[in-house]
Amino acid sequence: IELFEKTMGIIGLGSIGLWTARMAAGFGMKVISFSRHKKTGPEYDFIEQVGLEELFLRSDVISIHCPLTDESYHMIDRAAIEKMKDGVILINTARGAVIDEEALIGALDSGKIYAAGLDVVDNEPLKERCALMNCSNAVITPHIAWAPEEARYRTVRVAAENLKNWIHGMPTSVIA
């Protein structure tokens, strides 16, 4: 699938969403995003920030990077999927419960969603008889983005930096 000049929709524009946006732009994709809070600053200038419904309507690829909250629980349901372009690709590396799995399975089976890449599912660990496993157009990985040794070192380094900043009255990575 050619990515050049396609539209990447990013849900959740925190640090991971921003890195994903940069990678998409590197492939020549137009990047749009939806986030609970408008992002400002030069690092966001290449991203068009839109409403969630507009993101569904315009995106060729949707990548989810938001936290699981009452508002984001099953955010991707049948109604949301109906608004998406036919043949959209859906990626979820955030939290499984952001997607209604039954709605996803129906959309994968019908071809409404061309493919799904899932590093998370609603019920982890994945059950042996999970219907998603029967979808040939779904790639499911076992929530292992943290597995490489380098990622674990980075996690510890970031935690130590956050603690140091908090002690000095300058908290970072604050979740409101």
Q: What mean pLDDT comes out for the span 1-18?
A: 95
Q: pLDDT band at residue 84, thresholds of 50, 70 and 90?
A: very high
Peptide bond connecting 125 to the previous residue in cis, omega within 30 degrees of 0: yes
- Catalytic site residue 95? yes
User: What is d(CA 104, CA 132) in angstroms, rounded to the nearest whole number?
Assistant: 8
Q: What mean pLDDT comes out for the span 97-118?
A: 97
Looking at the predicted structure, is the pLDDT value of residue 176 above 60? no
**pLDDT attached to residue 146:** 61
pTM of the model: 0.82
Mean pLDDT of the chain: 90
Residue 91 makes CB contacts below 8 A (sequence gap 6+) with 61, 62, 63, 64, 116, 117, 118
Catalytic residue among 58, 74, 78, 143: 143
- Catalytic site residue 58? no
Catalytic residue among 124, 152, 157, 161: 124
Q: What mean pLDDT comes out for the span 115-125?
A: 87
Q: pLDDT band at residue 68, thresholds of 50, 70 and 90?
A: very high
- Catalytic site residue 124? yes
Q: What mean pLDDT comes out for the span 103-111?
A: 98
**pLDDT attached to residue 160:** 80
